[in-house]
Structure 1
Amino acid sequence: MNILLTSAGRRGYLVNYFKEALKKQGEIHVANSTEHSTAMIHGDHSIVTPLISDDAYIPFLKKYCEEHNIDAIIPLFDIDLHILSKNKKEFEEIGTQIIVSNNEVIRICNDKWMTYNYLKRNGFNTPLTFLSSLDAVNAVQKNQISFPLIVKPRWGMGSISIFEADNIEELAVFYKKVGHSIQTTYLAFESQQDIENCIIIQEKIVGQEYGLDIINDLKGNYQTTIIKKKYAMRSGETDCSETVSNSGLEKVGEKLSGVMGHISNLDVDIFVMQGVPYVLEMNARFGGGYPFSHIAGVDLPKAIVRWLKGEVVGKSLFEAEIGVVGYKDLSVIGNRKRVAPSI
C-alpha cells in the first residue's frame, strides 16, 4: 500500500506514524509546495508540487498517483482539504482514495462564520460572533458583549492575524489590519469567496482550553473522543497538553461526530468557562494536537491503514492513557539529499 501525504509542512511525526503503521508493506510519499519542508525528509519519496491554488495542482497529483500507484491521499492543510474534497471522484476513478470529509463538512470547518452558525443551529455553545465591526459595536452598546473582542480572518489558520481589541478605536485599527493581511497572504485564496465579508469579530471566552480528537471511521461512524487539557500554545498549535477524562466533553465530541459525519479526525478547540463548554473552532484533519493523543496510546494512522485494507479495527487503537503529559520540542535536521522538483 502506498500513501501520499500532501501539504505535509513540518508534520514529520505524522510521516513516521504512517511509516510505522505500514510496517514496510508499502511506502509513504510526501508532498509540499516547497522542498524546504522538514516532513519531506522523512518520507520514502518526496515531491514538490505546484501551489494548491494553481490550476496544475490536481492534474499534477493525479499523474503522480497513477505513476506511483498511490492507494490513498491524506491532506494535512485546510486549503488542501477544500480542493481535494471537491475532486474525490476524479481520484477514485484512477484507484486513489482521498481520506477527506465531504465538501460541506470542509466548508463548515474552514469558514468560521459558517462554523458559528452551524454550531448555534445544532445546539452547541460557541462564542458570540459578528461579520461586521458595526454589528459588534452595536452589541457592545447594547451590553450583549464587552471588550476585549477577538478580530480574525473568517477563513484563517495558524493564528495568522488574530488580534485582541480592548476598545472601539483598537477594533477599527485591527479590522483594517486583518483585511490587509488577508490580501497579502495565502489566506486570500479562500477569502475570495466573499472578500467583502472576510473578517469576523468574536466574543472572548476566558476559561480552560481543551483540544479534542473526535475520531470517526472512513464511513463517518463514531469511534471515540480523545480529550487533551492544554497548558501551552505556540502559533495556534498546542505546545503542551495532558490527556484527561471528562464525560461532559466526551458527550460534546460524540454529538459533534453525529451531526458532522466527518471522515477520520475532527480536531476541535473548546473552552470551558464556569463549567460550560464553548466550541471555538473545528478542523477536519489531523490537528497539531494529535501527537499528544498518539503518545498516549491512540494510533489513528494504523487504524486508517487497516480500514483501507478492509480490516476490522478494534477499540484498542483508540484507547488513550489518562494523565500523559506531552511536550513539543525544537530540533535541527540536516539533509543533503535534494527533494525531487515538480514535473
Structure 2
Amino acid sequence: MKPLRVLVTDAETTKALAIVRALGPTTEVWTASHSPAALAAWSRFVRKHLVHPRDALGTYAGWVLDACRRHRIDGVIAPEEKSSFLLAGHRDAFQAENILLAVPELRVLEKAIDKARTIEIARQCGVRTPATRIVDERRQVIPAARELGYPVVIKPRHSQYWTGSCFIPTDGVRYATSERELTHALASLPDRIPAPLVQRFVPGRGVGICVLLGHDGSPCAEFAHERLRDLRPTGSGSVLRRSIAVDEELREASLRLLREMGWWGVAMVEFRVDESDGRWYLMEINGRFWGSLQLAIDAGVNFPRLLLDVMRGETVAPPPYQTGVVLRWWLGDLVRALHILQGRPEGFTGCYPGRLSWIKELFGRQPPGTLNQVLRWNDPWPALGEIVSLAWR
C-alpha cells in the first residue's frame, strides 16, 4: 500500500518537528513554513519543504490547497492555532479534493479559541473553573475585580485575535493585586481586542490532559503530563515536563467538556491543581497539538500516527504509555532564564524563582533519564537548525 503523503505546516515549531519524526518512518512527510530554514525542515524524515509568503493570511488556505493539488498531498496537519483557524473555514474545499484535513469544523474550533466561550460551556456541563467574570467592555473590568477580590488574573479572550484581516497577539495573561496594578495591566492590552476575562488567581501546579477523540467523541488516545518548569515562571508552556498517569477525575472532566463542544481530533485540556486543597480548576483548551507533544510520543503514544488513522476512518484504541518519562527543551530553558532575570511581574502573587536559580536549572543536574526535545542522534540536524531558524526569525 502506497504511504500517505502528508503536509505538516508551521514547520518552524518544535511540535511540527515532533510530528515529522513520529510520521517519518511510515509516511512521506512534506513541510511548509514562511521560513526556508524552518526547524522541522532540517529533519531527515522530510521529503520536501515548501515556503509560503509570511503575511499573506487572506490567501493562506488557498496557498495550502493549491500546494496539495500540485504535489498530490493526501492530508494536512496544522499544529498551530492560527493555521488551524485559517484552514478550518475552508474544510469543504479540501474535502471536495479528497484531501484529509486534521482540523475540526470552524464553529467547533472557535469554542476552544475563545476562552469566554470555553468557560461558559464548562459551566454548562459542570466542569470546575476559577471564579470568573465575563464582561462586555473594559470599563467593567475594575468593578468585576472588586467583586471577585484581589489578586486577580486578566486573561485575554484569545491568544491571537483575528480581526478579519490580521491576527493581533495578546501577549498572555496579566496579574493584579490592587486597582492601580489592574489599571496598568489594562493599559498594556492591545486596543482592538475584546474585553478580557477577570478571574480569581488560583495558585498551584499545571497538569495537561491530552486526548484524541474520534468523530463520534470516543477516546482513541490519552496522555497526561505535569509541568516541572514553565517557559514563563508565572505559568505557560513547559520546558521540563514528566509523563504521569491520567487522573480519572480530570479525564472525565476533559471528555465531558470536549464532547459538549462536539470536538474530534487532538486537544490538550489544561488544569491547575491548587496544592493547598488538591482541588483542580480548568484553565483553557488548546485545540491543537501541544508544545510537549514529543513527550507523549517518547512515552509511547504516537498521537500524529493515531490522528491519521482516525482521519482515515480506522478503529483506534488508546495505547498504554510509560509514566516517569522526562523531556527537556533546552532552548526553552534558556528563554526561561531571561524571564527569571527580568524579575517577578507586577501583580503576580504565586511562587517565583530567585534571580540566580536559572544557573542551576540551565546547567545543573536534570532528573535521571531526561530526554532532549530537539537533539536526537538518529536525526541530529534539527538541533543545529533550531539555532539557525531562530536567527532567521
- Same fold, judged at TM 0.5 (above): yes
State the match for 1:165 in structure 2: 176
Determine which of 197, 200, 203 is the counterpart of 1:203: 200
Give the SS at the match of 2:203: coil
State the match for 2:140 in structure 1: 135
Q: How does 1:39-78 map to 2 (within 5 A)?
A: 39-42=40-43, 43-51=46-54, 54-78=57-81
State the match for 2:20 in structure 1: 15
State the match for 2:126 in structure 1: 123
State the match for 2:355 in structure 1: none
Q: Which amino acid aligns with 2:240?
A: C
State the match for 1:191 in structure 2: none
Q: How does 1:259-274 map to 2 (within 5 A)?
A: 259-273=260-274, 274=277
Alignment check: 8 A CA contact 2:266 2:307 kept: no
Alignment check: 8 A CA contact 1:221 1:261 kept: no
CA distance in 1, matches of 2:69, 2:173: 41
1:197-235 CA-to-partner distances (Å, cap 9, x unmatched) read: 243333211122101102213554223432212111115
Moved over 4 A (4+): none
Alignment check: 8 A CA contact 1:7 1:76 kept: yes
Alignment check: 8 A CA contact 1:85 1:102 kept: yes
Are 1:302 and 2:300 matched, yes or no? no
1:220-262 CA-to-partner distances (Å, cap 9, x unmatched) read: 4223432212111115322122222322112212222322332
1:63-117 CA-to-partner distances (Å, cap 9, x unmatched) read: 1101111111111111211121111110111121111111122101111122222
Alignment check: 8 A CA contact 1:214 1:257 kept: no
Is the alpha carbon distance of 1:227 and 1:45 closer, same or farther for their aligned partners in structure 2, counting shifts above 3 Å?
A: same
Q: CA deviation at 1:120?
A: 1.6
Q: CA deviation at 1:34?
A: 2.4
CA distance in 1, matches of 2:301, 2:185: 40
CA distance in 2, matches of 1:91, 1:265: 19
CA distance in 1, matches of 2:317, 2:157: 38
**What stretches of structure 2 of length at least 5 have no aligned partner?**
161-168, 332-374, 376-382
Are 1:108 and 2:159 matched, yes or no? no
Q: CA deviation at 1:264?
A: 1.9
CA distance in 2, matches of 1:253, 1:29: 32
Aligned length: 315
Alignment check: 8 A CA contact 1:151 1:178 kept: no
State the match for 1:239 in structure 2: 239
TM-score scaled by length of structure 1: 0.83
Are 1:148 and 2:199 matched, yes or no? no
Alignment check: 8 A CA contact 1:224 1:254 kept: no
CA distance in 2, matches of 1:30, 1:64: 11
CA distance in 2, matches of 1:73, 1:218: 17
State the match for 1:222 in structure 2: 219
Give the SS at the match of 2:103: coil
Q: Percent identity?
A: 20
Alignment check: 8 A CA contact 1:233 1:239 kept: yes
Is the alpha carbon distance of 1:62 and 1:54 closer, same or farther for their aligned partners in structure 2, counting shifts above 3 Å?
A: same
Give the SS at the match of 2:13: coil
CA distance in 1, matches of 2:41, 2:263: 27
CA distance in 1, matches of 2:177, 2:56: 36
CA distance in 1, matches of 2:253, 2:237: 21
Q: Which amino acid aligns with 1:281?
A: E
Alignment check: 8 A CA contact 2:18 2:293 kept: no
**What stretches of structure 1 of length at least 5 have no aligned partner?**
181-194, 339-343
TM-score scaled by length of structure 2: 0.73
RMSD across aligned positions (CA): 2.6
CA distance in 2, matches of 1:162, 1:315: 34
CA distance in 2, matches of 1:272, 1:229: 10
Q: Which amino acid aligns with 2:146?
A: Q
Are 1:179 and 2:190 matched, yes or no? yes
